[in-house]
């Protein structure tokens, strides 16, 4: 693993960071449900000044990405704070395949004539290089949701940009352990802490990390003015979840690779999208820019939407649920979600958890074969 700013490996940083060091202090920063503080040490009101609970999370993620982090109430709140930096008439460039929340936010702003939106295929590196010269916000998501395209961040982030442009990367699927966008030259990296950072399907949270002090201050102002602050319990849970991120990711990635290979050979599966497979269109890029291939698999069944729905209903160990990045495996048909109708109707997105690999395979195989009978 790469090393943190303190010189230790990132897996050790996850355990060490965000803790008090003075004698007599609790080993873990406890939840601090305080809205205001006794005046005198620079901390007066939580919305603007933060709390130790939030700061522990920010220390962890900021160290993972070698930047300065800000915690938000959700991933979308962190994303909205980045969009909030745009001036009227700005040009926003999005991937053709990206998180529906981002697409909806961008579309809503375009309807109000706050900015214009262009879309570029995520694997069109030349298109992104060209966009860097005209866009005020270059928004990349890699691997993408749910088609798992991997962008050539190394090349795109090195391209000349319009002065003042922000190049943002949604790093949720990769996590800071598999990819560090700021090292490539991105302006800001955004995580949905709801997913892998928290890892237990029990919180909403987001984190934005940057090395640009002026942008950090502007994002903090946006958080303060909009009230997009994290909850005390949520921040505490995110910190606790982050401690085991390296272990969870390692286990789930190993299982995901095995499942992807078996699904690719399954007679009732027509296509598997997983960056670790040589058949994946951006596999060569993934090998170069990612330290691991992640825990998300998207696969198409040889059948229509109804067949895919039956598979989701038949699983027993895998949970038929949305979201991803948790200890439990979850699966859903993405085209059933409003705004995602353009996706293949039988595409299932599987988030691999930490269950036994053979148990997961037996569950998937049984569910697919039962749905076909």
- What pTM, to 2 d.p., does this model score? 0.95
3-class secondary structure, 231:
coil
Q: What is the DSSP letter of 58?
A: H
DSSP letter for 335, please.
G
What class, spelled out in words, does domain 10-242 have in CATH? Answer: alpha beta
The tokens 């993405």 sit on which residue? Answer: 334
Residue 337 φ/ψ, nearest 5 degrees? -90, 130
Look at residue 19 in the predicted model and tell me its pLDDT.
93
Q: Is 195 a known active-site residue?
A: yes
For residues 96 and 119, the answer to whether their CB atoms sit within 8 Å is yes
Q: Which one from 19, 43, 47, 302 is the annotated catalytic residue?
A: 47
Per-residue pLDDT tens digits for 288-328: 999 999 999 999 999 999 999 999 999 999 999 999 999 99
Check 59, 68, 136, 195 and give the catalytic one. 195
Q: Where residue 2 falls among pLDDT bands split at 50, 70, 90?
A: low
Condensed to tens digits (0 to 9), the pLDDT of residues 102-134 reads 999 999 999 999 999 999 999 999 999 999 999
Please report, for the chain, the start and end positions of each structural domain, with discontinuous segments joined by +: 10-242, 245-372
Taking only Cα atoms into account, the Rg of the chain, rounded to an integer number of angstroms, comes to 21
Indicate the burial class of 35 (C-beta count within 10 angstroms; 0-12, 13-18, 19 or more).
exposed
Please tell me which residue in 59, 136, 152, 170 is annotated as part of the active site.
170
* Strand partners of residue 116: 91
Q: How far apart are the first and last CA of the chain?
A: 46
What residues form DSSP beta bridges with 72? Answer: 206
Which of 68, 97, 99, 349 is the catalytic position?
99
Q: Which residues neighbour 255 within 8 Å (Cβ) at sequence distance 6 or greater? A: 295, 352, 354, 355, 357, 360
- Evaluate whether 355 touches 363 at the Cβ level (below 8 Å): no
Tens digits of residue pLDDT in 216-228: 999 999 999 999 9
pLDDT at 6 over 80: no
DSSP 8-state symbol, 103: H
> In 219-340, where do the E strands start and end?
269-273, 296-301, 319-320, 330-333
CATH no. of 245-372: 3.90.1150.10
Spatial CA neighbour of 235 closest among 201, 275, 198: 198
- Check if the beta carbon of residue 150 is closer than 8 Å to that of residue 98: no
170 carries an active-site annotation: yes
Report the sign of the C-alpha dihedral through residues 95, 100, 101, 105, in that order: positive
């Amino acid at each position: 693993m790469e090393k943190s700013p303190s010189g230790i490996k990132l897996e050790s940083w996850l355990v060490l960071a965000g803790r008090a060091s003075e004698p007599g202090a609790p080993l873990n920063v406890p939840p601090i449900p305080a809205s205001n503080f006794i005046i005198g040490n620079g901390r007066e009101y939580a919305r603007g000044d933060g709390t130790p609970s939030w700061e522990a999370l920010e220390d962890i993620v900021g160290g993972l990405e070698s930047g300065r982090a800000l915690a938000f109430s959700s991933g979308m709140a962190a994303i909205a704070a980045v969009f909030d930096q745009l001036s009227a008439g700005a040009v926003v460039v999005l991937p053709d395949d990206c998180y529906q929340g981002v697409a909806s936010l961008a579309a809503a702003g375009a309807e109000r004539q706050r900015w214009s939106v262009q879309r570029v295929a995520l694997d069109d590196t030349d298109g992104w290089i060209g966009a860097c010269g005209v866009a005020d916000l270059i928004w990349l998501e890699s691997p993408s949701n749910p088609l798992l395209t991997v962008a050539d961040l190394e090349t795109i982030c090195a391209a000349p940009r319009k002065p003042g442009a922000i190049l943002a990367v949604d790093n949720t699927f990769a996590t800071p352990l598999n990819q560090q966008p700021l090292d490539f030259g991105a302006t800001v990296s955004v995580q949905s802490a709801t997913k892998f950072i928290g890892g237990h399907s029990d919180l909403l949270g987001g984190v934005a990390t940057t090395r640009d002090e002026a942008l950090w201050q502007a994002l903090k102002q946006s958080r303060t003015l909009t009230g997009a602050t994290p909850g005390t319990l949520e921040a505490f849970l995110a910190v606790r979840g982050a401690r085991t991120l390296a272990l969870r990711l390692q286990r789930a990635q190993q299982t995901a690779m095995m499942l992807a290979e078996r699904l690719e050979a399954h007679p009732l599966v027509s296509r598997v999208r997983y960056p670790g497979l040589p058949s994946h269109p951006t596999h060569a890029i993934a090998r170069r820019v990612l330290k691991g291939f992640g825990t998300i698999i998207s696969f198409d069944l040889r059948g229509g939407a109804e067949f895919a729905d039956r598979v989701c209903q038949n699983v027993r160990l895998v949970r038929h649920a949305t979201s991803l990045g948790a200890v439990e495996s979850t699966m859903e048909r993405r085209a059933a979600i409003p705004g995602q109708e353009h996706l293949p109707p039988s595409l299932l997105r599987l988030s691999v958890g930490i269950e036994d690999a053979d148990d997961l395979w037996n569950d998937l195989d049984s569910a697919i074969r039962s749905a076909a009978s």
